[in-house]
Amino acid sequence: MKSRGLAALSASAPITRFDFERRDLGTHDVALDIAFAGICHSDIHQVRQEWGPAIFPMVPGHEIAGTVTAIGNSVTKFKVGDLIGVGVFIDSCRICESCKRGLQQYCENGMTGTYNTVERDGTTIAYGGYSNNFVINEDYAVHIPANLKLQLEGVAPLLCAGITLYSPLKTWGAKPGMRVGIIGLGGLGHMGVKFAHALGAEVTVFSHSPSKERDAKAMGADHFVVTRDLATLKPLHKSFDLLLNTVSADLDINIYLDLLSLDGTLVVIGLPGKPYAVNVGSLLNGRRRIAGSMIGGIPQMQEMLDFCGEHSIVSDVEIISADYVDTAYKRTVESDVQYRFVIDTSTI
């Protein structure tokens, strides 16, 4: 399939327009026209080879929202005209225990990422969502609720940023009466606030930016704590059942562990630059836990989108044109975005 996208030709090159071929439509494949593609900070890490060697030319993008344009002969889950989403992975082994449980993101044989990798046939380069179209096996795509059709720009980031916060909130049982803290109010954190609020939890946002308080409250936060002066955290000792750390910046994790009540859990979502130095005494004194969470499997992604449709939840975004991507990368690194950049793929 002839495709047009935006690619990095090397780790130091600007993003440029790029014509390429996607694989032909298979019997279980779905083809889609992409309407919007979100920019995730991990796109920048991979383009710049900050996470190891990369495959160039690279078409990034794993927050994809669009419309089905064609289906393979054996497809049963989608029809032409359906709204469709694609996230961080496009395949997995299907036979390991994780895959059988619908936890494809933890595939024991390695999930196949949406880009910067080779597909499971061993030869096809996977190109991502900064493009006008896409081809994917029907088992690895999700339905976008029809009532979100006019907000597809806000739906695209749900396929990574959204599921990354929805999954731990569901795993650790966010519900009415639970005291949930969201550390960081960026592309990830703002989705955590919206989901935790919709699930009925009492939500507190921790941010170093006082200017974000109004946004946090509008998204559903009950409380807002400025973390520039860590002394402000002392009165919150043993006040939370669940903390979600969405920031990648280095921080003293022990300060936040002390905010957990008995049997409380701190879930690490942002990837820190260096290992945490954990005071084990903070874990022992209160039976506290540190856990991690990574995106979500296909069943939970569909559950999340259905939940978003029911509660009218989308990401807060800035829509940009293809020519603005390099600037968007710069602003993302500087945390200067409210709260996710999304590419209008009609401009590619």
With respect to CATH, is domain 1-159+314-345 assigned 3.30.70.260? no
Please give the structure tokens belonging to residue 12. Answer: 């130091």
Whether the predicted pLDDT of 251 surpasses 80: yes
Mean pLDDT in residue range 41-62: 96
Q: How much is the average pLDDT of 177-183? A: 98
The CATH topology of domain 160-290 is Rossmann fold (3.40.50)
- pLDDT at residue 80 in the model: 99
For CATH 3.40.50.720, the residue range(s) in the chain are: 160-290
The one-letter amino acid code at 148 reads L
Q: In the chain, which ranges are E strands?
A: 2-8, 15-21, 29-38, 64-71, 83-86, 89-91, 112-113, 117-118, 125-126, 133-137, 142-143, 179-183, 202-207, 223-226, 240-245, 260-268, 289-292, 317-320, 340-344
Average pLDDT of the residues in 212-223: 98
Here the tokens at position 183 are 């550390």
Average pLDDT, rounded, for the chain: 97
The closest of 61, 72, 182, 173 to 116, measured between CA atoms, is 61
Give pLDDT tens digits for 85-97: 999 999 999 999 9
204 half-sphere exposure, CB direction, 13 A CA radius: 19
In tens, the pLDDT along 60-81 reads: 999 999 999 999 999 999 999 9
Sign of CA dihedral 332, 337, 342, 347: negative
Instruction: Label residue 2 by pLDDT band (50, 70, 90).
Output: very high
Q: Helices 298-311 and 161-171: crossing angle, nearest 10°?
A: 100
Task: Give mean pLDDT, residues 30-49.
Answer: 97
Rounded to two decimals, the pTM is: 0.96
Question: In this predicted structure, what is the pLDDT of residue 249?
Answer: 83
Output the CA angle 156-157-158, nearest 5 degrees: 90
Question: Which pLDDT tens digit goes with each residue over 270-324?
Answer: 887 788 889 999 999 999 999 999 999 999 999 999 999 999 999 999 999 999 9
Residue type, 175: K
Q: Does the pLDDT of residue 142 top 90, yes or no?
A: yes
Question: Taking residues 212-234, what's their average pLDDT?
Answer: 95
In this prediction, residue 230 carries a pLDDT of 86
Share of the chain above pLDDT 90, in %: 94
What pLDDT, on the 0 to 100 scale, is given for residue 124? 96
Q: Give the per-residue pLDDT at 274.
A: 81
What pLDDT sits at residue 271?
A: 82
Residue 99 scores a pLDDT above 80: yes
Q: Where in the chain do CATH 3.90.180.10 domains reside?
A: 1-159+314-345
Name which of 78, 228, 79 is nearest 141 in CA terms. 78
Judged against a pLDDT cut of 80, whether residue 102 lies above it is answered with yes
Identify the pLDDT of residue 231.
Answer: 87
3-state helix, strand, coil in the chain (%, to 5): 30, 30, 40
